Amino acid sequence: MPKPNPRHPNFPIPGGLELRAKGWRQEALLRLLENVLSVGEDPENLIVYAALGKAARNWAAHDAIVRTLKSMDEDQTLIIQSGKPVGLLKTHDKAPLVIMANCNIVGQWAKAEYFYELQEKGLICWGGLTAGAWQYIGSQGVIQGTYEIFMRIAEKRFGGSLEGRFILTAGLGGMGGAQPLAGRMAGAAILVVDIDPERVAKRKAIGFLDAVAPDLDTALQMIDAAVSEKRAVSIGLVGNAADIYPQIVKRGTVPDIVSDQTSAHDLVYGYVPKGMSLEEVRRLRTEGQGQLMAASRASIADHVRAMLTLQEKGAEVFDNGNLIRTQAREGGVANAFDIPIFTEAYLRPLFARAIGPFRWMALSGEESDIARIDDLVLELFPDNHIVTNWIRLARENIPFEGLPARIAWLGHGERTQLALGVNELVAKGELAGPVAFSRDHLDAGAMAHPNIMTENMKDGSDAIADWPLINAMTMCSSMADLVVIHSGGGGYAGYMTSAGVTIVADGTAAAAERIAHAITNDTSLGIIRYADAGYDEAIEAAEEHGVPHIKLDAS
């Protein structure tokens, strides 16, 4: 039975054991679609997160998807083009149930302005990284991502701990809202600036933010106190980051860590330029896109100049994947890329071993299923410090949203082992229902994004998009249940291509076969991509695990 959803009463949280489709595979995908709406930012408009990231093109498209998932057979494949179902083909029982391509635009046309045009014509919609693929699990995914970044910085610069350290960042939206909780979980004192009082209030209300400061002075005093007591705390402040960051510079305060997660990637629907009210910005979104883009770019330039100054003064400053450096460079900040990207700076050695954000969702809706799987993870991987630490922290700190779910940074072999173990638990009746597995698109072999994921690759292959396409084609050939190729929309248009995959563990032998093929090939490709680029970690991992990487004879 679905559960009521206080946040969005029209979008109940799926659950229970009643099938509305012809099998659990189809039912699972239907529930995942329902789930991304139930945890989404603005489900009435099909928006899941990141300003424009949608679960389906429009309501007619959504309804046709739901109808088809309910009626289709296991040897059919539903084809979805940018959120709109276009065909239901006869395939076979080892083929995916759903194939999607979202927001892919031919290179020379892949620009924000053109994307908006196509969107207005109703011809395209952006799927974000997990909205259009029905894989979003609420804030948890990005909480761990941000937490792991903080912990890698702790290891690199602060003796393994962020106790008594000050983190400054901005943005309390769908993703950025995870920052205060991640910072507190990492033991730091974190200050997060957002221009929108409603967003700030919301993060406080759902327990992601400890306190809201009335002004910058008070905020810095609260931070100072926490730092000297080595007390973890998260403080919110209403303000424009392009004002606040320079003010902090002026006061001579230097935080230990500085980042930003405003929607800087989108100069129209995301970023709010300084000196403008939210109302003014909302009006310009329809009436003055050009003016708004110019103002946003200028404001981001100031914002990033302040970040660069703090970097010079010794802060650990990084770009957290919102294209802020790219926008700043276009706004005239020639050295914006002196700020490193988080992937290259902290996470690449993990990705090179195909360790990345893997996740699972309890389709029954029962939280106890996740608890049981948490135990299994701790049993299976007692020596994996990152994962055991995270599972313990997450259990204590992270409220479930929508379908109960968990994320954990697992690698090649581990992911397959866990998913097979879960499938067995389903078979033995130790879980209330089937479980769906997916991973972030930002995963080893699955994303080309030269300003985020693949910046400064060792061999210079940053912009080569063959890899995510190979990943998606391989997943279609490896019994995955849902496969998707996404490219960027809005300000991300032309900046990325990525692939996503979902696999359903319903306790059958067929599911075990699917898991063994799809998950193993997915992480194999991750290792192969980095081995091909010359990363030692990947070359070693390939040997260690017998990954079938082809090496050429020296020519």
Ligand X SMILES: NC(=O)c1ccc[n+]([C@@H]2O[C@H](COP(=O)([O-])OP(=O)(O)OC[C@H]3O[C@@H](n4cnc5c(N)ncnc54)[C@H](O)[C@@H]3O)[C@@H](O)[C@H]2O)c1
Is residue 130 annotated as involved in ligand binding?
no
Question: Interface with ligand X by CB under 6 A: which range of 44-52, 246-254, 394-402, 528-536?
Answer: 44-52
Q: Map the footprint of ligand X across residues 126-155, applying CB under 6 A.
A: 142, 145
Q: Which two tokens stand for residue 321?
A: 């994947």
Is residue 523 close enough to count as binding ligand X by CB under 6 A? no
Closest distance of CB 405 from ligand X, Å = 16
Q: What does 281 bind: ligand X, a copy of itself, none (CB cut-off 5 to 8 Å by kind)?
A: none
178 closest CA partner among 209, 133, 211:
209
Q: Is 322 in the site for ligand X (CB under 6 A)?
A: yes
Shortest CB 124 distance to a copy of itself, Å: 6
Flag whether 329 is marked binding: no
How many residues comprise the chain?
555
In the complex with a copy of itself, the residue whose CB is nearer, 91 or 397, is: 91
Determine how β-strand 76-81 pairs with β-strand 84-90: antiparallel
Selected from 262, 384, 438, 471, the binder of ligand X by CB under 6 A is 262
The verdict on 25 binding ligand X (CB under 6 A) reads no
Q: Give the residue with the Cβ less far from a copy of itself, 222 or 515.
A: 515
* Cα distance between residue 497 and residue 104, in whole Å: 8
Q: Which residue has the tokens 């905020």?
A: 219
Cβ proximity to a copy of itself, 5 vs 521, nearer residue = 521
Is 489 an interacting residue with respect to ligand X (CB under 6 A)?
A: no
Give 198: exposed, middle or buried? Use CB within 10 Å, 0-12, 13-18, 19+.
exposed
Beta strands in 470-512 (DSSP E): 482-487, 497-505
With respect to a copy of itself, which residue has the nearer C-beta, 9 or 107?
107
Structure tokens at 392: 């313990």
Q: Which does 483 bind (CB under 5 to 8 A by kind): a copy of itself, ligand X, none?
A: a copy of itself
Residue 118 CA: distances (Å) to CA of 22, 51, 82, 115: 35, 17, 11, 5
Contact 107, 488 (CB under 8 A): no
Q: What is the DSSP letter of 237?
A: E
35 is in an annotated binding site: no
Decide: is 188 part of the binding site for ligand X (CB under 6 A): no
Q: Which of 136, 158, 271, 530 is the binder for ligand X (CB under 6 A)?
A: 271
Among 138, 255, 270, 489, binds ligand X (CB under 6 A): 270
Both tokens of 173, joined, read 């939206």
- Using left for φ > 0, alpha for ψ between -120 and 50, and beta otherwise, residue 16 falls in left
Q: Should residue 452 be labelled a site residue for ligand X when binding is judged by CB under 6 A?
A: yes
Residue 553 interacting partner from ligand X, a copy of itself, none (CB closer than 5 to 8 Å by kind): a copy of itself
Which residue, among 425, 431, 470, has the nearest Cα to 448 in the 3D structure?
470
Strands, E assignment, 350-442: 356-362, 405-410, 435-439
φ and ψ of 89, to 5 deg: -100, 150
From the list ligand X, a copy of itself, none, partner contacted by residue 547 (C-beta under 5 to 8 A by kind): a copy of itself
CA-CA distance, 497 to 494, in Å (whole number)?
8
The reply to whether 241 sits near ligand X by the rule CB under 6 A is: yes
Return the range that interacts with ligand X (CB under 6 A); candidates 49-57, 356-364, 413-421, 461-469.
49-57
Q: Which does 201 bind (CB under 5 to 8 A by kind): ligand X, a copy of itself, none?
A: none
Q: Are 516 and 439 in contact (CB under 8 A)?
A: no
Number of residues that bind ligand X (CB under 6 A): 33
Q: Which is nearer to ligand X, 82 or 299 (CB)?
A: 299
Q: Residue 400: which of a copy of itself, ligand X, none does it interact with, CB under 5 to 8 A by kind?
A: none
At residue 371, φ and ψ (nearest 5 deg) are -60, -45
Q: According to the binding rule CB under 6 A, does residue 42 interact with ligand X? A: no
With CB under 5 to 8 Å by kind, the binding choice for 105 among ligand X, a copy of itself, none is a copy of itself
Report if residue 265 touches ligand X, rule: CB under 6 A. yes
Q: How far is the CB of 253 from ligand X (least distance, A)?
A: 18
Contact call for residue 331 and ligand X (CB under 6 A): no
When CB distances are held under 5 to 8 angstroms depending on the partner's kind, the choice from a copy of itself, ligand X, none that residue 142 binds is ligand X
Q: Which of 171, 187, 402, 507 touches ligand X by CB under 6 A?
A: 171
Q: State yes or no: residue 50 binds ligand X (CB under 6 A).
A: yes
Q: Which of 358, 367, 425 is nearest to 386 (CA)?
A: 358
Judged on CB neighbours under 10 Å (0-12, 13-18, 19+), 411 is buried
215-243: b (≥16 Cβ within 10 Å) or e: ebeebbebbeebbeeeebbbbbbbbbbbb
Residue whose CB is nearest to ligand X in the complex, by number: 173
At position 457, the amino acid (one-letter code) is: M
Q: How far apart (Å, rounded) are the C-alpha atoms in residues 342 and 188?
A: 18
Q: For residues 195 and 431, which CB has a smaller minimum distance to ligand X in the complex?
A: 195
- In angstroms, the CA 541 to CA 415 distance is 15
Q: Which residue has the tokens 């012809």?
A: 22
159 in a labelled binding site: no
Picked from ligand X, a copy of itself, none, the partner binding residue 417 (CB below 5 to 8 A depending on kind) is: none
What tokens does 376 get?
């299994």
174 is in an annotated binding site: yes
List residues binding ligand X (CB under 6 A): 49-51, 142, 145, 170-176, 193-196, 199, 240-242, 261-265, 270-272, 320-322, 442, 452
> From the annotation, which residues make up the binding site?
174-176, 194, 199, 240-241, 261-265, 271-272, 490
> From the annotation, which residues make up the binding site for NAD(+)?
174-176, 194, 199, 240-241, 261-265, 271-272, 490
